[in-house]
């Protein structure tokens, strides 16, 4: 009988959770696994791990719902290793890129067993030859969806799928893709082992029933957790004990000071980026005097590491460099990935005493602290246009970060009450109430557009019955009446047929346009807009109209308008209305004027980037962070790449100009630097240095003495690296020319161009590597 058909045993027949940790020697783990775990400081399994290990090793599907830091990931790793040793592949799904990196690093310790681990977090294809060599792939659910759309042969050996943070199916943006991916994988591979990891949620048993998995729930924590509310100099805990917090400061500085004085760290959650930066600066006078000489040295080294992350200045770099020497930092989406990694590592290494973060940090990144302080329990909701309460599940995720194993005897998680009534509300609404249940978000029209087309284009559904059975197998179909979803699916299908993505009539077949849209991972609405843009664009179309066109698509979230910006943007709109390729009032978008102006602002951000405006100046001018800029650049490059592929199908004359603009957006350069940035290690800053020194292209560098290169780049080692790249390229070209009896091709600006890369894994940082 397949695992899908097998039911877990009734709860009364299942083993009970051990009352204490279980030594590794008392488990079924073999000597090699025990040795690797012991080298990592793991001598025993926590009670929920001990309860889950036998089912996992037997290949049974399970859902493990436990608090943060209770060891859920290890059970997932054991499932992946079991599959790899049996000659099967394993897929580890994560909601965030940063979490993929963390899990990949943790799994790498098992590579000495002959297991090959890879990470795929880019928006384009991982080459098939690289993928086929992997036993375990750590990826976002979007990447898994892409593998399913293309029918990757790697999936045919799939033995196990791990769904980390599976409760995030309730997220409106990422949830539908995770739900559809799990549904497709379970239908396509009936014997697949599913290991789902979840925070404690209100309906984890319902999730387990949908996955036909054993349900293991536990309240165990390796470090005891005390939950409480701070008010007027005292923390009242839910166990009715209390702790007095001496001092005269305001709530957050007082809570921070006392935990640092006791040798611990503090993690403070606030509701906005600006608040995280401001509070971090305000905490410097509190924390700096408490650092020992050794702690100041660790902080200095962390700050030196931060300085090596970029050759181009950013606002985040400037702010952090003034905070980290004092043992304080902030963490939010305005930081670049290298900056975030330095901050996270410094906090783990205890070089930082306090970290002020936005709630995104709580979504899986492993950064515990002795005391977690949640200052804000509401935040701005863009969909509602007002401040709204943060869901209890997210607050519990933040609170669960309290208590660091091996360092803290207990963790304290504290909400801050501003009034006596607020104290009762926080206790009732967050600390005493269970987290909200997970609900499907699949019925949202943008999600249905994407996934209905992908299901048809990939052949996952071929007719009406297939379609009905698929949606019945989703979590939505498992928990809610299908009538409403069926009506929405019918409307989306009519939309896709109207715009020539699906063939009309009986049966379900994608058109060539539909296949290409699905392969490019575009929202069908974006593809429709881009096809119209290509039909409308004149020969010699300018940069800004193309950037404004991709900025108007639903796949590129706009930059928000600040007060007073509307007038200038409206002037630009009226001045350039004739050249713009997307009009706000036209179908299928039908944008209101304010939203359309925000898309024009996004296009201006990208235009300034391609004109080589320095990052600090750009972020200050438009009111965005370097991390925001990086996200916009990545999305814009992907959309331009997609537009270039659509141009090949519909308007070939526009293919080269769009590809060139895609490269310019990728590197943030003017057109004259396109040849130089193709060199590894040469981004926009160093390319401009070379250009100003009289090196307009690679051929001019190839013929230059090394001393001149060193003078231009201000680095001997970098000059030698660049020269060696060109020397190897010359050798390859000469070898090819000798074999083929011809001269290696060159253009007026140097060697023939290579095609645009198809992978964002190779995407450079905000500045030079």
Whether 499 and 529 have beta carbons less than 8 Å apart is answered as no
Whether 103 and 80 have beta carbons less than 8 Å apart is answered as no
Residue 292 confidence (pLDDT) above 60: yes
pLDDT band at 745 (very low <50, low <70, confident <90, very high): very low
Residue 742 confidence (pLDDT) above 50: no
Which single residue is written with the structure tokens 């030594």?
Answer: 23
Over pLDDT 70: what percentage of the chain? 91
pLDDT of residue 760: 31
Whether 564 and 615 have beta carbons less than 8 Å apart is answered as no
pTM: 0.88
pLDDT per position as a tens digit, 352-373:
999 999 987 766 577 889 999 9
Nearest to 601 by CA among 655, 628, 565: 565
Tokens of 665: 């957006």
Whether 701 and 722 have beta carbons less than 8 Å apart is answered as yes
| Rounded Cα distance, 493 and 698, in Å | 50
pLDDT band at 493 (very low <50, low <70, confident <90, very high): very high
| Rounded Cα distance, 160 and 169, in Å | 19
Tokens of 235: 């923390």
List the beta bridge partners of residue 215. Answer: 63
| Rounded Cα distance, 153 and 515, in Å | 19
HEC sequence for 418-449: CCHHHHHHHHHHHHCCCCCCCCCCCCCHHHHH
The whole-number average pLDDT for the span 696-711 is: 94
| Rounded Cα distance, 379 and 315, in Å | 24
pLDDT of residue 364: 58
Beta-strand relationship, 378-381 and 386-389: antiparallel
pLDDT per position as a tens digit, 125-178:
567 888 999 999 999 999 999 899 988 899 999 999 999 999 999 999 999 999
| Rounded Cα distance, 588 and 597, in Å | 17
pLDDT per position as a tens digit, 435-459:
889 999 999 999 999 999 999 999 9
């Amino acid at each position: 009988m397949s695992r899908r058909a097998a039911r877990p045993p009734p709860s009364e027949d299942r083993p009970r959770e051990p009352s204490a940790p279980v030594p590794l020697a008392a488990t079924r783990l073999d000597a090699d696994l025990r040795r690797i775990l012991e080298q990592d400081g793991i001598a025993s399994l926590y009670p929920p791990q001990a309860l889950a290990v036998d089912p996992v090793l037997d290949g049974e599907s399970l859902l493990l719902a436990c608090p943060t830091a209770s060891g859920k990931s290890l059970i997932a790793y054991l499932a992946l290793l079991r599959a790899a040793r049996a000659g099967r592949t394993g897929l580890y799904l994560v909601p965030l890129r940063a979490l993929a990196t963390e899990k990949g690093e943790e799994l790498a310790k098992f590579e000495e067993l002959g297991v090959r681990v890879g990470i795929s977090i880019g928006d384009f294809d991982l080459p098939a030859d690289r993928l086929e060599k992997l036993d375990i792939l750590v990826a976002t659910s979007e990447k898994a969806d892409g593998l399913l759309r293309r029918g990757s042969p790697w999936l045919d050996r799939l033995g196990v799928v791990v769904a980390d943070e599976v409760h995030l199916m309730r997220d409106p943006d990422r949830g539908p893709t995770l739900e559809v991916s799990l549904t497709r994988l379970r239908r396509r591979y009936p014997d697949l082992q599913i290991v789902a990891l979840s925070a404690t949620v209100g309906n984890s048993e319902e999730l387990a029933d949908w996955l036909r998995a054993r349900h293991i729930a536990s309240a165990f924590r390796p470090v005891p957790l005390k939950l409480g509310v701070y008010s007027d100099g005292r923390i009242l805990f839910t166990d009715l004990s209390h702790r007095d917090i001496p001092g005269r400061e305001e709530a957050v500085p007082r809570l921070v000071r006392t935990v640092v004085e006791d040798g611990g760290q503090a993690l403070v959650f606030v509701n906005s980026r600006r608040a995280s930066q401001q509070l971090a600066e305000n905490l410097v006078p509190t924390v700096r005097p408490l650092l020992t000489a050794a702690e100041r040295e660790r902080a200095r080294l962390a700050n030196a590491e931060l300085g090596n992350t970029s050759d181009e200045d950013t606002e985040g770099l400037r702010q952090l460099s003034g905070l980290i020497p004092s043992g304080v930092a902030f963490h939010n989406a305005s930081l670049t990935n290298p900056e975030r990694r330095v901050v996270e590592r410094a906090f783990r290494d205890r070089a930082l005493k306090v970290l002020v973060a936005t709630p995104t940090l709580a979504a899986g990144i492993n950064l515990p602290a002795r005391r977690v302080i949640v200052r804000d329990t509401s935040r701005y909701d863009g969909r509602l246009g007002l401040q709204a309460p943060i869901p209890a599940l997210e607050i519990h995720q933040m609170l669960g970060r309290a208590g660091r194993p091996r360092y803290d005897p207990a963790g304290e998680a504290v909400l801050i009450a501003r009034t006596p009534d607020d104290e009762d509300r926080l206790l009732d609404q967050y600390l005493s109430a269970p987290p909200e249940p997970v609900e499907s978000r699949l019925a949202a029209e943008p999600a249905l557009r994407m996934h209905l087309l992908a299901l048809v284009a990939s052949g996952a559904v071929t007719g009406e019955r297939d379609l009905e059975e698929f949606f019945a197998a989703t979590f939505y179909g498992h928990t809610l009446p299908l009538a409403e979803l069926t009506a929405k699916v019918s409307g989306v299908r009519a939309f896709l047929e109207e715009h020539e993505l699906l063939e009309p009539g009986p049966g379900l077949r994608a058109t060539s346009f539909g296949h290409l849209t699905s392969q490019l991972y575009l929202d069908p609405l974006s593809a429709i807009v881009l096809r119209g843009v290509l039909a409308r664009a004149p020969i010699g179309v300018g940069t800004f109209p193309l950037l404004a066109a991709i900025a108007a698509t639903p796949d590129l979230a706009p930059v928000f308008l600040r007060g007073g910006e509307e007038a200038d943007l409206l002037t630009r709109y009226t001045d350039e209305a004739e050249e713009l390729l997307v009009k706000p009032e036209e179908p299928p978008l039908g944008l209101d004027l304010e939203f359309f102006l925000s898309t024009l602002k996004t296009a201006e951000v990208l235009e300034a980037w391609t004109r080589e405006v320095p990052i600090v100046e750009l972020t200050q001018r438009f009111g965005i962070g370097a991390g925001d800029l990086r996200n916009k650049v990545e999305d814009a490059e992907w959309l331009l790449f997609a537009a270039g592929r659509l141009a090949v199908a519909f308007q070939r004359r526009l293919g080269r100009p769009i590809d060139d603009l895609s490269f310019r957006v990728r590197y943030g350069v003017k057109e004259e630097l396109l040849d130089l940035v193709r060199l590894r290690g040469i981004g926009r800053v160093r390319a401009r240095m070379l250009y100003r020194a009289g090196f307009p292209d690679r051929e001019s560098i190839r013929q230059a003495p090394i001393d001149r290169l060193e003078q231009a780049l201000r680095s001997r080692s970098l000059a030698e690296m660049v020269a060696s790249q060109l020397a190897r390229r010359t050798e390859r070209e000469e070898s090819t020319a000798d074999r083929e009896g011809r001269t290696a091709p060159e253009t007026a600006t140097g060697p023939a161009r290579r095609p645009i890369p198809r992978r964002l894994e190779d995407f450079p940082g905000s500045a030079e590597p």
